Amino acid sequence: MAEIVRLDEKLAERHLDDLRELLTDAVEDGAAVTFLAPIPRHQAAAFWRGRIEAIAAGTCVLLAAFDGGKLVGSVQITLDTPPNQRHRADINKLVVLRSARRRGIARALMEAVHREAAVERRTLLTLDTRKDDAAEPLYRSLGYIEIGVIPRYSRNSSGTLDDATFFYKELS
Ligand SMILES: CC(C)(COP(=O)(O)OP(=O)(O)OC[C@H]1O[C@@H](n2cnc3c(N)ncnc32)[C@H](O)[C@@H]1OP(=O)(O)O)[C@@H](O)C(=O)NCCC(=O)NCCS
């Protein structure tokens, strides 16, 4: 089973190349994770550098899954919510390497998200995913409640627009 580790800024910096590879692997496969294929190397690296700055600023929790010492997945908790929503957090960019999928790694990352969100005293989690993507049944099985679907929410690498499903979960 993969080991889930919370990366501080030093550890994240050390794994910058692995994180870049992880994001590139997903984007090249057509995943709906912010970027469009082909994602330039410098753009993927710049994204992770921004996340490392956010970890240092205390506004991002970055969890990584390691399998046999190799980084195979990650997910983020975004904590920079407005002052009146400090009990809430967004979950972003749950990604597992194509070569490591369907082995429970995303589920393990999300279970770790729930533990770390509690550590950060966040009791309401929100997230979204492209409608009908593989993450939808995962979120439902973890107790996320569907709020609804926004049509034509984000563009894909083929140039068309995809619907997005929005979810929330309250941690007891
Ligand atoms: C979505 C993703 C993170 C799942 O990672 P994973 O490690 O393969 O997922 P798991 O093995 O933990 O599977 C957990 C559940 O997700 C669902 N699931 C995962 N892959 C699926 C697929 N290809 N088709 C249908 N359901 C799938 C299933 O419900 C599964 O539970 P089960 O194994 O009991 O049936 C991975 O496919 C991925 O990185 N996709 C690209 C990025 C992305 O779309 N991320 C979501 C952004 S919100």
Q: Which atom of ligand 1 is nearest to the CA of 107?
A: 12
Please state, for a pLDDT cut of 90, what percent of the chain lies above it: 99
Residue written as token pair 């929410």: 153
Which tokens is 40 given? 């330039």
**137-150 average pLDDT score:** 98
Give distance in angstroms: CA of 171 to centre of ligand 1: 22
Give distance in angstroms: CA of 82 to centre of ligand 1: 30
pLDDT of residue 4: 98
CA distances from 3 to 30, 74, 108, 161 (A): 26, 11, 9, 36
- State pTM to two decimals: 0.98
* Any atom of ligand 1 within 6 Å of the Cβ of 63: no
pLDDT of residue 1: 86
CATH 3.40.630.30 fits 3-123, yes or no: yes
* Any atom of ligand 1 within 6 Å of the Cβ of 161: no
